[in-house]
Structure 1
Amino acid sequence: MAKISNWLIFLILISTSTQTYINEDILKECQVPYTVKNITRTSQGIVAYASFNPSSKLISDQNKSHTIQKLTINITYETSERVRIQIKDTEHSRWEVPKVVVPYNQTTFEPKYDVMIDEDPLGILIIRKSDGKVIFNLDPNSLFSYNDQDIAFFNILDYDIKIMGFGERVSNLTLNRGEYTMWSRDRCSPIDDGNNPNGNMYSVHPFYVAIDEDFKCFGGFLLNSNAMTGFVGNSYVGYRTTGGIIDFYVFVGPTAADVVRQYQEVIGFPALAPYWSLGWHQSHWGYNNLTIIEKIVDLYMRYKLPLDSIWNDIDYMTKFEDFTLDPDRYPHEEFLAWIDHLHSLHKHYVPIIDAGIAKQNYSAYNEMIQKELYIKDPYNSNPADGVVWPGDAVFLDWFHPNTSDFWVDQLIGFYNLTEFSGIWIDMNEASNFINGDFGHPATIINSTTMPYTPGEDINTNSLDVASIHYGGILEYNVHSLYGFMETIATNRFFTENLNKRAFVLTRSSFPGHGRFGSKWTGDNYAKWEYMRYSIIGIFNFGMFGIPHVGADICGFIGDTTEELCTRWMQLGSLYPFARNHNDNQALPQEPWAFGTNMLETSNMAIRNRYFLMLYIYTEMFFTSFSGEMFFKPTFFSYPYDRILYENVINHFMLGKSLIVHPCLWKGVSRADSYFPGDIWYNFYSGARIKLDKTYVISLEMPLHGLINIHVRGGSIIPLLDSADTALSVEELRNSNITLLVALNSNLEAAGRAVFDDGISSGTINEGNYTRMDYHWRFMNYSTDILDIQPINSKYESENEFPHISNIKIYGCSSLPKQVEILIDNRVIQGSIINDPGLIPDVCKIEISNSNGNFSPNRPSQVIFRY
């Protein structure tokens, strides 16, 4: 086939019509227009230089002037499991993303990959050694462009792949063949099937996990903040971005969990969430005065419903000005008295703050203007002027060296006013109700002047992208970093000024965000399909390194129904971040809003979360400690089970040990449910699931009941006895513990629990925690042993989690005749309970505290004699 220009190729391959996928034949019949010279190979990588081939017919004459003529290629073998490919303009500096990649120390290792480079034309090949599979192929005979505002490259393979990632959007977990725009936008949850150029939302995450036909995985990450498109085909994945550089990481896998860990080693493992923030949250846009919000908390207390935090949307502000408290609707003295009362109940307060600073005569605006901490317009260097809730607004320039100090000072003043426990940051894409700068048409950089625009004009509901940051940085390059950098500054307030873990919930995020904040999935709808899509959103952000994430339970926009809200409460109570929230035009949807049945079901659902809180906290700890996922697709735990890749929302795993089958469909009360090939017990009763060769059983899914949870054989799970009565997670810290032992086919089980103060910011780095590992082992037919041993034991508290009260065993064949507990060479006798309420194969051993302190965080051994 004759070679044609890149310009023409892009017109053919990429359009905004309803058919947006790439013509694969054309893609594979192009040619990279660069020739490589001066290749240097070392044990740490490859350095080479490439020159544009002027005789190339791939680029039309009208574009040759924009082509980067000389490129420097630096391929670094960073670890045994990842390769970094940087391709830069040799002669001129270009925008590069700061503050994302965590520093690493290169050590000696045996790489799990081979890397090859072609010279004429340029090509790069990465092969996974374990199976000889090509996992990255910058094919010399493929589309490649390195122009000033138009950079494109593709990973083209000779086998089929499925792709997950390319956030943020509402989509399937494995993406359809198509195009996926990435540019931070305030966009209200459009469904993106790969055929919607305007389907992207608040966050940008140019990371993917690829799954091959053997269910082995590899991954890629483009560190670039410019507007871009991710391309997904049957056997390729690629990027086209409007600026910056190619700074691309390849991860070898071979499982999805491996790829996620390898990616998070680059961007950093997420920060530990405060213990209280894992509890239950209530919010609503429309708590218009102190009396209303007081009543909400009072009703939670009256109905004996657990509650850990009450939230305010913009209702509390004076004229929607950040850092203010309306004196009429939220009078300061009365408000602080109420906050003191709230704290006495072990509950917390979280207010919203918007990104735009009101252009009004008040202290925050005046100081920001006086110190020139604002983004400047491209016309006369005045403050870039947008419109949000307060009307005219200006926006902080996070690249100014003094902006972070200003922000922290404002938060200190606001904390003195409201004594908040966390901050909720909204509109931080940054959102703008108009296109570009107020009073000016966005004409300097826009879709008519750019050679390529991903989706609609990037000035849409944005500041003018020609606006200027400190040091001459253009909004064009850094727009998608706004929420990320605001979160970093907010995190600093908590960690440096309060000496506590930060709880910062934001809407916009970027790679590395999880080190500083949490996330919710934005403005969803009170519809069944959005409850289903919420599961995928949480999967995605877990992969993106932001595990503390949730969707607005019962839906944000529109009126929910009793059935939908009840099902959503059952599901949402197991989100990593669990909050009921909706807008001011919708019907109330607090747990009591639809009467007694939903109230009782909500209470059961929240207390179910409380029952599992130590397990949840422990598993979330390991997302921060080692990059594990908590709320995850089941195939992450069973990576070679083909069926698990289908209908992934019908089941999910919580940590290592629990599988959940939610009810996601209107009018359904029973459903055929698939289980991986393993031993599974009903979490509530201990009944073992009897699976036939299809691994499918019919599960009852009562509307007014508990969600289906099953325990994986071989697990030990710590449960909190006080969950039935506690009204906050703080009260759970005084709870005794039941150890649930679920035996596998070898009559063994293992588990873990982490104890710390739940609030300090340096817990992992300083090792200020206690980790206990539990191991049940079959010795012989007359003896079993449960070992409880510390892996780390730096946290001690005499009053918290005082006692292991019970050991409940799923899969036991008979009650033991005698139980001995060895602590510090002392023996405590356990009471064997033949509880008539227990089903066969479930045993319960009660531990009397009067005989000694069987502490969950002290080494001990339990001997069961039969």
Structure 2
Amino acid sequence: MRRWWRAGRSVLLEYEDATLSVTHLTDAIARVRATPADFLPRRPWSATPPDDAFPPVEVAVEATGDGVTVRSGGGLAVHAAATGARVAVLHRGQTIMMDGDGGGPAWHADGRATWTHRMPPDENYLGFGERTGLLDKRGQRLACWCTDRYEYQGAGVDPLYQAIPFYLAVDAAGRSHGVYLHNTYRSVFDLTAQREQRLVMAVDGGELDWYVMAGPTPAEVVTRFTHLTGRMPLPPRWALGYQQARWGYDSAERIRAVAADLRRHDIPADVLYLDIDHQDGLRTFTWDPEAFPDPAGLAADLAADGFKLAAVVDVGVSHQPEGGYDVFDEGHRKGYFLTEGDGLLLRHVWPGLCAFPDFASPAVRQWWGRWYASLLDRGVRGVVNDMNEPAMHDLPMDHPDSARVEPPLDTPHDLDADHAEVHNVYALLENAATDAALRDLRPDERVLRLSRAGGTGIQRYAAVWTGDNGSYWEHLEMSLPQLMNLGLSGVAFAGADIGGFFGDCGPELLARWFQLGCCYPLARNHCARGRAAQEPWVWGAETLDACRAAVRLRYRLLPYLYTLLADAAETGSPVLRPLLYHYPADRRGRQLADQALLGRDLLIAPVLRPGVTARAVYLPAGRWYDTRTGAVHDGGRHVLVDAAIGDGLPLFARGGGVVPSGPVGRYADELPLNPLTLDVYPDRDGEAEGELYEDDGASMAHTRGVRARTRYSYRDGVLTARPVGLLDAPARLVVVRVHHPTGPELTRLIDGGKSWTVRA
């Protein structure tokens, strides 16, 4: 180190062959950058705000013989070593990460740059966005590159559709920190050097730039990461309902028949999907005039029966130089498509050769967003941005030798960027365009948005699903850690296709997938054209009963689930959580991937293998109530529970929680929350607490404060309700059920309103 100096809110440290920058954005978040040349300017698609968007943080700088330490008042310290630009990070006096000997930043002849940290032997690593396999990613090499994985197989497939270079580290004592690699080029996290205890972050271009977030709890890390990268908007309440989709619902009559079957079989449902079948010649933003002659009439008829209609949008725009397709004609005339050499970049997607919008351009994003009016004006209330990695083929899609390809890395984009830099934010920028357009087209309405691909911060614009999974037991089992790691990576509103997209789902697998899938934040049944049907009724009465019971459980819990989504919108907290989220020091539960917490107060233990009629469930410390049988267990151990298909999902309530639920209607907003049921599960001290979030469920009034949270506390046999917010709770009946470890359940029925107290 030659010298150091302050530059605004940063401390810069000059070494012989590099410059290091340390910036405290808050008392618990620091940014560390290194470059052999000049620091790069901020890109407009950065997932994080400019440094000066944060309030100033007072830091102390201490220089000693072994380097320079920059410390915030909250106890987050970054120590830069005297040689090698190596760093160590401490929080409240404890080292939470360090480079160690041989670590630190490095620049290589092939253009890559790496930063090597020490990987302690007792540390677990979670997050990393969308991944296959189990929860802990220690021992793996993970690439961040949005990739079309058509019909992907197995737990070793990497990468997938989402590129989120963030991890949550948890040490043996349960102390946590997070690291976000702020770089949109292809990056790799290499956690394979376990014996050497090295964790390597590598980037193919751009800058070595990362943020560290102190905990010490996992919840605090996730809150701080989403403070940096954004949080999800609250979706409409109906988006938490059951959703039915299929690539192959190819006419308005077919959609009407599915809607009628859902109602006839008494399966609550809220959303029906139109895949590319609804398009004229598979061209995006069009309607097939024969199969869907009156989309507005279809949407209105479905709405009268409680259904919302969602439709797919693909980024590939059919290349039609002869004219007659407005989307291509206008985009080509204005120069809005990616180019290759002297012409357009053309590759094959569903309609044939397609051009691809340059979403790096603000003008292109604004133009693209206007086309969503062609859907919304016909009654569509949900949009699905698909094939946006971008997905493309070198030959027609039905050609036996057709192969997936990507735009060349040197493809030019707006703002003097190339595709190597833009690829991982291509879908993110498309969804930013969608979000801006929907807010403009429907300023006081919440429209459901889904995206298959995305980068860091995708939760600000859309929910996601895990892409083209298969109808395999392995994919059912894998979906739980997939969604938990997405939640830890900031993406709380996500789901996997119930039943699997590819393959043929049999009755037992379908029933088990419904039992788990109805606990996904986003619960959508979806499968591919040409595969076995997997609507709940196709396998007969027993499977139908199991699927219907799972859906009805979800609808009964909608008040609880909606409260969790509101929490995610406010704090970034996941909906599906690994046990370590609340019990990080529990060594027996921290790596479990076959069960999860649904919020803080419910624990699910799905059956993930065929032929199983009982399973072991690990219960963390405390008291736990089996919601199916009423049995009460002390935690910190495994219990064996019945788990035949007819027994339903093994579901446990935490002692100390109050869980709100409501009546089950045909769709989410058919019935008012009357009666409201409050299940009180006292802990060992006889106490419990919980919350209920409420708003109108559809408009943006909640952003203007028209919402309410009612906090419930149970002590000394008395349950008290205290609402906070501008929205008055309506007059309604409240069913209070206090569950006791010994003796009968106590039930009271009261007239609820605003604040109230009842002795249970």
Aligned to 1:411: 372
Aligned to 1:744: 683
Q: 2:23 aligns with which of 63, 73, 76?
A: 76
* 1:37 to 1:96, Cα distance in 2 relative to 1, 3 A: farther
Separation of aligned partners in 2, 1:118 and 1:709:
51
User: Alignment partner of 2:281: what SS?
Assistant: coil
Tell me if 1:486 matches 2:448: no
Aligned to 1:255: 217
Contact 1:122/1:140, CA 8 A, preserved across alignment: no
Contact 2:621/2:634, CA 8 A, preserved across alignment: no
Contact 1:598/1:704, CA 8 A, preserved across alignment: no
User: Alignment partner of 1:177: what SS?
Assistant: coil
Tell me if 1:754 matches 2:693: yes
* 1:560 to 1:100, Cα distance in 2 relative to 1, 3 A: same
Aligned to 1:115: 78
Contact 1:351/1:420, CA 8 A, preserved across alignment: yes
Separation of aligned partners in 2, 1:206 and 1:714:
36
| Deviation readout 1:414-436 (Å, 9 max, x if unpaired) | 322x3111101111001111299
Tell me if 1:611 matches 2:556: yes
Paired amino acid for 1:37: R
Paired amino acid for 1:859: S
Q: Shift in Å at residue 845 of structure 1?
A: 1.1
Output the aligned Cα RMSD: 2.3
Separation of aligned partners in 2, 1:312 and 1:391:
20
Separation of aligned partners in 2, 1:745 and 1:43:
53
Tell me if 1:375 matches 2:375: no
Q: Shift in Å at residue 41 of structure 1?
A: 5.1
Q: 1:106 aligns with which of 56, 60, 63?
A: 56
Larger mean CA deviation between 210-219 and 709-718 belongs to 210-219
Matches within 5 A, 1:224-235: 224-232=183-191, 233-234=193-194, 235=197
Paired amino acid for 1:128: H
Aligned to 2:739: 810
* 1:165 to 1:158, Cα distance in 2 relative to 1, 3 A: closer
Paired amino acid for 1:649: A
Paired amino acid for 2:29: R
User: Alignment partner of 2:98: what SS?
Assistant: strand
Separation of aligned partners in 1, 2:118 and 2:481:
26
Paired amino acid for 1:110: G
| Deviation readout 1:532-563 (Å, 9 max, x if unpaired) | 00001110111111111000001111101100
Matches within 5 A, 1:351-366: 351-360=311-320, 361=323, 362-366=325-329
* 1:580 to 1:192, Cα distance in 2 relative to 1, 3 A: closer
Q: 2:348 aligns with which of 381, 387, 392?
A: 387
TM-score by length of 1: 0.81
Contact 1:169/1:192, CA 8 A, preserved across alignment: no
Paired amino acid for 1:165: G
Paired amino acid for 1:862: V
Separation of aligned partners in 1, 2:637 and 2:344:
62
Q: Which runs of 5+ in 2 are unaligned?
A: 59-71, 397-402
Tell me if 1:569 matches 2:531: no
Q: Shift in Å at residue 175 of structure 1?
A: 1.2
Aligned to 1:833: none
| Deviation readout 1:39-62 (Å, 9 max, x if unpaired) | 12589542123342xxxxxxxxxx
* 1:861 to 1:91, Cα distance in 2 relative to 1, 3 A: closer
Contact 1:211/1:217, CA 8 A, preserved across alignment: yes
Tell me if 1:771 matches 2:709: yes
Aligned to 1:461: 405
Q: Shift in Å at residue 129 of structure 1?
A: 2.3
User: Alignment partner of 1:301: what SS?
Assistant: helix
Q: Shift in Å at residue 167 of structure 1?
A: 3.3
| Deviation readout 1:9-42 (Å, 9 max, x if unpaired) | xxxxxxxxxxxxxxxxxxxxxxxxxxx3231258
| Deviation readout 1:567-619 (Å, 9 max, x if unpaired) | 00111011000000000121000000101111111111111001100000001
| Deviation readout 1:433-486 (Å, 9 max, x if unpaired) | 1299xxxxxxxxxxxxxxxxxxxxxx9611122111123211111111111111
Contact 1:435/1:462, CA 8 A, preserved across alignment: no
Matches within 5 A, 1:705-716: 705-716=647-658
| Deviation readout 1:87-121 (Å, 9 max, x if unpaired) | 24544747847241134223456232222212333
Aligned to 1:650: 594
Q: 1:854 aligns with which of 747, 752, 755?
A: 752
Contact 1:192/1:200, CA 8 A, preserved across alignment: no
Matches within 5 A, 1:426-441: 426-434=386-394
Contact 1:96/1:244, CA 8 A, preserved across alignment: no
Aligned to 2:180: 221
* 1:356 to 1:139, Cα distance in 2 relative to 1, 3 A: farther
Q: 1:702 aligns with which of 644, 649, 654?
A: 644
Separation of aligned partners in 1, 2:8 and 2:334:
50
Aligned to 2:276: 314
Paired amino acid for 1:667: G
Q: Shift in Å at residue 176 of structure 1?
A: 4.1
Tell me if 1:589 matches 2:534: yes
* 1:702 to 1:178, Cα distance in 2 relative to 1, 3 A: closer
Separation of aligned partners in 2, 1:460 and 1:739:
52
Tell me if 1:845 matches 2:741: no
Separation of aligned partners in 2, 1:716 and 1:554:
32
Q: Shift in Å at residue 350 of structure 1?
A: 0.4
Separation of aligned partners in 1, 2:214 and 2:424:
28
User: Alignment partner of 2:450: what SS?
Assistant: strand
Contact 2:318/2:351, CA 8 A, preserved across alignment: yes
User: Alignment partner of 1:564: what SS?
Assistant: helix
Aligned to 2:167: 208
Separation of aligned partners in 2, 1:364 and 1:42:
48
* 1:140 to 1:854, Cα distance in 2 relative to 1, 3 A: same
Separation of aligned partners in 1, 2:355 and 2:270:
34
Aligned to 2:721: 788
Separation of aligned partners in 2, 1:703 and 1:767:
43
* 1:753 to 1:93, Cα distance in 2 relative to 1, 3 A: closer
Q: Shift in Å at residue 254 of structure 1?
A: 1.9
Separation of aligned partners in 1, 2:346 and 2:745:
66
Separation of aligned partners in 2, 1:304 and 1:158:
53
| Deviation readout 1:146-183 (Å, 9 max, x if unpaired) | 66831111112555422223333312210141321211
Separation of aligned partners in 1, 2:38 and 2:184:
21
Paired amino acid for 2:32: I
Aligned to 1:59: none
* 1:734 to 1:749, Cα distance in 2 relative to 1, 3 A: closer
Q: 2:305 aligns with which of 320, 345, 367?
A: 345
Aligned to 1:182: 144
User: Alignment partner of 1:553: what SS?
Assistant: coil
Paired amino acid for 1:789: R
Separation of aligned partners in 2, 1:199 and 1:99:
24
Aligned to 2:361: 400
* 1:672 to 1:141, Cα distance in 2 relative to 1, 3 A: closer
Contact 2:674/2:734, CA 8 A, preserved across alignment: no
Aligned to 1:137: 99
Residues paired across the two proteins, number: 731
Paired amino acid for 2:523: A
Separation of aligned partners in 1, 2:492 and 2:189:
23
Question: Identity, % of aligned pairs?
Answer: 25
Contact 1:96/1:224, CA 8 A, preserved across alignment: no
User: Alignment partner of 2:392: what SS?
Assistant: coil
| Deviation readout 1:357-394 (Å, 9 max, x if unpaired) | 111230111111111111222x12x2211211111101
Aligned to 2:66: none
Paired amino acid for 2:641: L
Paired amino acid for 1:391: G
* 1:141 to 1:265, Cα distance in 2 relative to 1, 3 A: closer
Aligned to 1:33: none
